[in-house]
Chains A and B, each alone.
Chain A
Amino acid sequence: NAGVTQTPKFRILKIGQSMTLQCAQDMNHNYMYWYRQDPGMGLKLIYYSVGAGITDKGEVPNGYNVSRSTTEDFPLRLELAAPSQTSVYFCASSYSDRGKETQYFGPGTRLLVL
Chain B
Amino acid sequence: RKEVEQDPGPFNVPEGATVAFNCTYSNSASQSFFWYRQDCRKEPKLLMSVYSSGNEDGRFTAQLNRASQYISLLIRDSKLSDSATYLCVAPSRRTGRRALTFGSGTRLQVQP
State the Cβ distance, B23 to closest chain A Cβ, in Å.
11
Chain A residues with Cβ below 8 Å from B100 are 45, 103
Interface size on B, residues (CB 8 A): 23
Give Cα distance in the complex from A101 to B100, angstroms. 10
For B46, the closest partner residue in chain A by CB is A102
For B104, the closest partner residue in chain A by CB is A42
Q: Does any Cβ of A come within 8 Å of B102's Cβ?
A: yes
The secondary-structure label for the interface of chain A is: strand
State the Cβ distance, B44 to closest chain A Cβ, in Å.
5
Which of A12-20, A54-62, A63-71, A74-82 contacts its partner? A54-62
Interface residues of A (CB under 8 A from B): 31, 33, 35, 40-45, 48, 50, 56-59, 90, 99-108
